């Protein structure tokens, strides 16, 4: 039996063609599953009884189970999900006025081992399926009142999305499909540590969501030390690849820059960053480091962060200091590690 959540539109159309069922039936099924949250094929009353039975013989419909919820003082909620194989991952829901952003995970753990990231300390345990990726969004929306449903999705939770390429692409297609989840592709962002070959491949896909790059350093020696992936794809290789990325006219690449005291937060770093990105249409998110137990890094002072930002603004960049959300519940950027696993 296969979980229908996450099963691609293309595959379902092919299956229906094999069954002699017209392809518009896929839209009806998706409407039940993704818009009405139906879990039983028998409730899909505009399908014939035979088709309902056939579907029930092949598929089931299930979302990841919410194992735990932790509410932050700032209103954010961290969800701990239990997956079918017993693994756990986290998502963080962050309200900001009308905008509700959900940060979702793509892997259990991560093999890239960035030294400022708690997830990276776990190593890679397993990849999520497409259904488990979109299931986080669907389950959170089921859990919250309609007014609080996620409006934006960021793939910045546990894992490197481009290291789980096929499942992530299937999940993204379902997210932005007008037949399935109908999220605007402007409201979906994939964040990568810079797997250059995969970025090139992703540029060729028919998926036009936002791209964010977790950069975090301006010199290879520093980036090698905090992001081992840089040894394989050094900064110049990454930037050259991004220069060729087929950005839509009104879009910008987002650069995420975690500021680590004494490591990458100097005025010289800010100057180098300004030069490095000068030929790219981009914006920069500065993220003062979010601490976790066992980490020796510290966040820079507010003045240092401001000075770093001011230099970038003086060079005409859109540079934002990202409010850390959910730091008290280890829900902020780089702090996700499916905590309840070890409790
Ligand atoms: S920052 Fe992202 S890519 Fe790096 S270890 Fe953490 S989850 Fe993996």
The complex's ipTM?
Answer: 0.99
Give the distance (Å) from ligand 1 centre to CA of residue 141: 25
Buried b (16+ CB within 10 A) or exposed e, 127-160: bbbbbbbbbbbbbbbeebeeeeebebbbbbbbbb
Locate all alpha helices (DSSP H) within the chain, ordered by sequence: 9-19, 24-30, 49-58, 130-143, 165-176, 196-203, 220-226, 229-232, 235-243, 267-276, 302-314
- Whether 110 lines ligand 1, by a CB cut-off of 6 Å, is yes
CA distances to 15, 79, 149, 331 from 339, in Å: 40, 10, 24, 10
**Domain residue extents for the chain:** 2-60, 65-342
- pLDDT for 58-74, tens place per residue? 999 999 999 999 999 99
- pLDDT for 232-268, tens place per residue? 999 999 999 999 999 988 999 999 999 999 999 999 9
Asked if residue 156 lies in contact with residue 255, where contact means CB atoms within 8 angstroms, the answer is no
Locate all alpha helices (DSSP H) within 207-266, ordered by sequence: 220-226, 229-232, 235-243
Does domain 2-60 fall into CATH 3.40.50.10490?
A: no
Per-residue model confidence (pLDDT) at position 342: 28
110 catalytic? Reply is: no
Distance CA 112, CA 232 (A): 11
**Which tokens in the block code for residue 96?**
């900001």
- Whether 117 lines ligand 1, by a CB cut-off of 6 Å, is yes
Per-residue model confidence (pLDDT) at position 335: 60
User: Hey, do 2-60 and 65-342 end up sharing a CATH topology, with the first three levels equal?
Assistant: no
**Which tokens in the block code for residue 175?**
């997210």
Whole-number mean pLDDT of the chain? 94
Distance CA 89, CA 331 (A): 12
Q: Mean pLDDT throughout 77-94?
A: 95
For 125, other C-beta atoms within 10 Å of its C-beta total 18
Per-residue model confidence (pLDDT) at position 343: 23
Cα torsion angle, 12, 163, 289, 295, sign? positive
Asked if residue 71 lies in contact with residue 329, where contact means CB atoms within 8 angstroms, the answer is yes
256 catalytic? Reply is: no
Closest CA to 124 of 81, 68, 163, 157: 163
- Whether 109 lines ligand 1, by a CB cut-off of 6 Å, is no
Per-residue model confidence (pLDDT) at position 134: 98
Which residue among 104, 105, 109, 110 is best mutated to probe the pocket of ligand 1, counting the most ligand atoms within 8 A of its Cβ?
A: 110
Task: With H, G, I as helix, E, B as strand and everything else as coil, classify residue 11.
Answer: helix
Distance CA 176, CA 182 (A): 5
Distance CA 128, CA 168 (A): 8
**Which CATH number is associated with domain 65-342?**
3.20.20.70
Per-residue model confidence (pLDDT) at position 141: 98
- 259 alpha carbon, distance to own chain's centre: 20
């Amino acid at each position: 039996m296969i979980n229908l959540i996450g099963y691609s539109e293309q595959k379902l159309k092919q299956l229906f063609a094999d069954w002699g069922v017209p392809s518009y039936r896929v839209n009806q099924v998706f409407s039940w599953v993704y818009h009405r949250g139906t879990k039983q094929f028998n409730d899909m009353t505009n399908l014939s009884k035979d088709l309902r039975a056939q579907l029930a013989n092949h598929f089931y419909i299930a979302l990841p189970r919410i194992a735990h919820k932790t509410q932050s003082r700032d209103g954010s909620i961290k969800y701990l999900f239990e997956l079918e194989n017993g693994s756990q991952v986290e998502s963080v829901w962050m309200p900001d006025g009308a905008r509700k952003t959900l940060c979702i995970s793509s892997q259990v753990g991560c093999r890239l081992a960035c030294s400022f990231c708690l997830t990276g300390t776990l190593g890679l345990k397993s990849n999520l399926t497409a259904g488990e990726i979109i299931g986080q969004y669907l389950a959170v929306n089921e859990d919250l009142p309609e007014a609080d449903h996620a409006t934006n999705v960021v793939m910045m939770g546990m894992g490197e999305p481009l290291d789980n390429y096929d499942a992530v692409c299937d999940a993204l297609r379902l997210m932005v499909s007008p037949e399935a989840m109908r999220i605007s592709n402007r409201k979906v962002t994939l964040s990568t540590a810079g797997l250059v070959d995969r970025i090139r491949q992703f540029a060729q896909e028919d998926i036009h969501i936002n791209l964010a790059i977790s950069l975090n350093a301006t010199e290879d020696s520093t980036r090698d030390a905090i992001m081992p992936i840089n040894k394989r794809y050094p900064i110049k290789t990454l930037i050259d690849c991004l220069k060729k990325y087929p950005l839509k006219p009104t879009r910008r690449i987002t650069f995420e820059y975690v500021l680590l005291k004494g490591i990458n937060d100097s005025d010289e770093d800010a100057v180098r960053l300004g030069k490095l990105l000068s030929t790219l249409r981009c914006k920069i998110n500065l993220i003062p480091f979010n601490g976790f137990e066992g980490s020796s890094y510290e966040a820079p002072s507010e003045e240092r962060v401001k000075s770093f930002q001011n230099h970038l603004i003086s060079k005409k960049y859109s540079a934002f200091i990202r409010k850390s959300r959910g730091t008290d519940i280890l829900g902020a950027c780089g702090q996700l590690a499916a905590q309840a696993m070890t409790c």
